[in-house]
Amino acid sequence: MITEFGHLALCLALAVALIQATLPLYGAYARDGRLVALAVPSALVQATLVGISFACLTTAFVRSDFSVLAVFQNSHTLKPMIYKISGVWANHEGSLLLWVLILSLAGASVAVFSKALPADFRARALAAQAMIGVGFYVFLLFTSNPFARLLPTPAEGRGLNPILQDPGLAFHPPMLYAGYVGLSVAFSFAVAALIEGRIGPLWARWVRPWTLAAWSALTCGIALGSWWAYYELGWGGYWFWDPVENASLMPWLAATALLHSAIVLEKRDALKSWTVLLAIVAFSLSLMGTFIVRSGVLTSVHAFAVDPKRGIFILSFLVLAIGGSLTLYGWRASKLENSGAFATVSREGFLVANNLVLMALLSTVFLGTLYPLALDSFSGKQISVGAPYYMATFVPLSALLIFLAAVGPLLSWRQDEFIRTKQRLLIVAAITAGGTLMVLILRGIPSGLAALGFIMTFWLVGGVVADFAHRLRYGDGGPVATLERVARLPRSVYAMVLGHLGVAITVFGITASGAWQSEVLTVTRVGQTLRVGPYDFRLSDLQPIGIKNFTAIDATVDVSEHGMPVYTLHPQTRTYTDPPSETTEAGIHSRWNGDLYAVIGKPDGHGRWQVRFHWKPFVTMIWLGALVMALGGIVAISDRFSRTLGVRRVAIILQPAE
């Protein structure tokens, strides 16, 4: 009964979305205020209906109602409650329902929080938002109904892939979707602006908080996925460069470019058509990612039987939605006038260069992901594009990007000369030289690539420090005055500092864990000790254990340093029964300066076991850096709020009487 109710709610949401996609748009065109006014309530009703629908499916999962096909296929009565709930989105149908839930919530948020927008603009944006919604509702209802019934009702479910029974993965999809779908707001705003033919600093100001929120969520989502791969997949890697990962990296790169170009648009009224294009491209890449992952067109091995009907449907929708917006773009963009002029050496000049390099980075990922498919289609030749390709293309371009990121903020708007920033550039160079030298003396730098990584880390830190110091020393006047200036700096400055420092932290983590890691991959016996970096790993014991829904071989690995015990790791190989599958569970212990990582493999039949032991210095920094970046995004949003919601008063109180 509840299930049918959920299905009905979803159908009604489609009906409301159809209204929202058409009437307000016509109303804005025909200057009919009543039709324009429909946009806001229908966005709210739509979100409520999808919310009800999602709650119904969740109820079916919580109650283990196996008469629902999706529940039967992905759940089990023995499963812990949290995984019953995460089971809702751990399958194609349910995850798509989560996708439309977030999409409708984004629409409702626009309706609620964008009271300041002109009614016509808001109506057009919400209509565009609803058009995307219509596409996905139709897709859900006609090809992937999450409420499909199963008769007769089975007594027990098939369970959830054990590799997905993991807290990291329970939260990863909602986060990533919030990022993907959040970009739809920038897309809808772009479409609305193109229809109106007006884009300016005000538009950039409207779209920025939404882009920032989506970007922060996407950053966290990607980091969570990478972290999960690190501890769950059992070889100590955190990034594979496989099509599915690349599908999430591409919109991130586009959104990062959008954030930076929107600053130029907002401050200098330039880069109009480019910024609008980026807003369209960022969400288009999200849609493409969805297509790549769900159609099975690129992943060669896929656990779900891939329904070609679904692939064709998403592809058609993709062409319609993106093609429509790009046609609109081609028609309108050439009419957009840029007014703010600037020199090459200026803040804007460097932001443009930032966009250029980000686009080049995007092109490496794009080519690396799609080239094998294209080559296979045209010539039948099969190639692999793996990490070595990206090391040769992505890494040098990233270095270039980081070079720009440290210098750009030191320059002033419109026109500048390097000579005027000489002092600050010297600070950057000094910090880079000092930091790299310190690393070289303390730990050593084993390769040119590692040297590049450390130089980039300190270069970026130096840029942040020099910029910050410059802003604070301006007009000096003692420590009290400096502190006052600290309080008075706009939050957008802190946002940038956090964003760039986050990148530096991640680069440091990648570089340090790659440069200084120790790995032993061999076979060993119980009682033997292996040297891994500064640590001794001793395989002390192997015990079979049985827990609720799996049995495991549990290894005891005692780790010591200079004879002093450090930690005991428990890597396992698990055998699950529902559904039957084997997984390896790494034993991981994080110390302040790195991770101890142990994996137990298979026996050789002569009392020896395959083992993989790692010491990974500073590897956690990779994800910590992503968190800091996301925090920067949130601070930047709060800057908008503090300006619009009158938090100014706080600043006035902090300000000394003049």
Partner 1 sequence: MTHAFFRALSHMGIGLTAALLLIPTLPALALDTDHLPNPAQEARARNLMLELRCLVCQNESIAESNADLAVDLRMLVRQHILRGETDAEVKTFLVARYGDWVLLRPPFKISTILLWIGPAIALLTGAVVILKRRTPEPFDDLTDAERAALKALDPQ
Partner 2 sequence: MRKFLVFMPLVVLLAMAALFFSGLKRDNPQALHSVMVGKSSPAFKLTAIGTIPLLTDQALREGHPVLVNFFASWCEPCRAEHAQLMALANQYHIKVYGIAWKDTPDAAQKFLTIYGNPYAGAGADIPGHVGIDWGVAGVPESFIVRGDGVIFHRHWGDIRAEHIEESILPKLKEAGE
Using the rule CB under 8 A, give the single segment among 73-81, 172-180, 474-482, 492-500 that binds partner 1. 172-180
Partner that binds at residue 115, options partner 2, partner 1, none, CB closer than 5 to 8 Å by kind: none
Q: At closest approach, how far in Å is the CB of 363 from partner 1?
A: 4
Cβ closer to partner 2: 563 or 605?
Answer: 605
Q: At closest approach, how far in Å is the CB of 361 from partner 2?
A: 17
Phi, psi of 173 (to 5 degrees): -60, -45
Please tell me whether residue 254 binds partner 1 under the rule CB under 8 A: no
- Structure token pair of residue 568: 């005991």
Q: At closest approach, how far in Å is the CB of 242 from partner 1?
A: 4
By three-state DSSP, how is residue 566 classified? strand
**What would the x/- binding string for partner 1 be over residues 405 to 434, using CB under 8 A?**
---------xx-------------------
CA 140 to chain centre: 24
Size of the site for partner 1 (CB under 8 A): 89
Rounded Cα gap, residues 68 and 78, in angstroms: 17
**Amino acid (1-letter code) at residue 541:** D
Q: Which of 254, 132, 256, 248 is nearest to 189 (CA)?
A: 132
Rounded Cα gap, residues 339 and 225, in angstroms: 42
Interior/surface letters 625-649, b for 16+ CB within 10 angstroms, e for the rest = bbbbbbbbbebbbbbbebeeeeeee
Partner that binds at residue 197, options partner 1, partner 2, none, CB closer than 5 to 8 Å by kind: none
Using the rule CB under 8 A, give the single segment among 26-34, 132-140, 219-227, 456-464 that binds partner 1. 219-227
Rounded Cα gap, residues 261 and 492, in angstroms: 15
Q: Which of 18, 52, 78, 244 binds partner 1 (CB under 8 A)?
A: 244
Instruction: Show contacts of 439-444: CB within 8 Å, 24+ apart.
Output: 443/516
Using the rule CB under 8 A, give the single segment among 171-179, 182-190, 196-204, 558-566 that binds partner 1. 171-179
**Residues 354-373 contacting partner 1, CB under 8 A:** 356-357, 359-361, 363-364, 367-368, 371
**Residues 118-147 contacting partner 1, CB under 8 A:** none
Measured from the Cβ of residue 94, the count of other Cβ atoms closer than 10 Å reads 24
Q: Which of 288, 289, 262 is nearest to 276 (CA)?
A: 262
Q: At closest approach, how far in Å is the CB of 90 from partner 2?
A: 23
Cβ closer to partner 2: 379 or 592?
Answer: 379
Please tell me whether residue 164 binds partner 1 under the rule CB under 8 A: yes
- Structure token pair of residue 529: 């000790």
Q: At closest approach, how far in Å is the CB of 322 from partner 2?
A: 5
By three-state DSSP, how is residue 212 classified? helix
Please tell me whether residue 377 binds partner 1 under the rule CB under 8 A: no
Judged by the rule CB under 8 A, the positions of this chain that interact with partner 2 are 273, 277, 280-281, 284, 288, 291, 295-298, 300-302, 308, 311-312, 315, 318-319, 322-323, 326-327, 329-330, 333-334, 370, 373-374, 376-377, 380, 382
Cβ closer to partner 1: 290 or 642?
Answer: 290
Size (the chain), residues = 658
Rounded Cα gap, residues 9 and 131, in angstroms: 18
Partner that binds at residue 341, options partner 2, partner 1, none, CB closer than 5 to 8 Å by kind: partner 1
Q: At closest approach, how far in Å is the CB of 93 from partner 1?
A: 11
Rounded Cα gap, residues 163 and 234, in angstroms: 11
Q: Which of 593, 613, 642 is nearest to 522 (CA)?
A: 613
Q: At closest approach, how far in Å is the CB of 150 from partner 1?
A: 21
Please tell me whether residue 95 binds partner 1 under the rule CB under 8 A: yes
Q: Which of 473, 604, 648, 655 binds partner 1 (CB under 8 A)?
A: 604
Q: At closest approach, how far in Å is the CB of 58 from partner 2?
A: 32
| Contact (CB, 8 A) for 278 and 326 | no
| Contact (CB, 8 A) for 59 and 49 | no
Using the rule CB under 8 A, give the single segment among 102-110, 184-192, 604-612, 616-624 that binds partner 1. 604-612
**Amino acid (1-letter code) at residue 165:** Q
Q: At closest approach, how far in Å is the CB of 410 from partner 2?
A: 32
- Structure token pair of residue 181: 């779908």
Cβ closer to partner 2: 83 or 189?
Answer: 189
Q: Which of 427, 486, 482, 489 is nearest to 458 (CA)?
A: 427
Point out which residues pair with 547 in neighbouring strands.
550
Rounded Cα gap, residues 321 and 126, in angstroms: 15
Partner that binds at residue 326, options partner 1, partner 2, none, CB closer than 5 to 8 Å by kind: partner 2
Cβ closer to partner 1: 568 or 581?
Answer: 581
Please tell me whether residue 235 binds partner 1 under the rule CB under 8 A: yes
Please tell me whether residue 395 binds partner 1 under the rule CB under 8 A: no
Partner that binds at residue 280, options partner 2, partner 1, none, CB closer than 5 to 8 Å by kind: partner 2
**What would the x/- binding string for partner 1 be over residues 466 to 495, using CB under 8 A?**
------------------------------
Q: Which of 444, 415, 400, 428 is nearest to 349 (CA)?
A: 415
Q: Which of 253, 263, 251 is nearest to 204 (CA)?
A: 263
Rounded Cα gap, residues 359 and 44, in angstroms: 36
Cβ closer to partner 1: 299 or 549?
Answer: 299
**Residues 296-315 contacting partner 1, CB under 8 A:** 299-304
Q: At closest approach, how far in Å is the CB of 127 from partner 1?
A: 27
Place of tokens 């049995």: 551
Q: At closest approach, how far in Å is the CB of 506 from partner 1?
A: 17
Please tell me whether residue 522 binds partner 1 under the rule CB under 8 A: yes
Rounded Cα gap, residues 484 and 480, in angstroms: 6
Contacts of 201 (CB under 8 A, 6+ apart): 265, 266, 267, 269
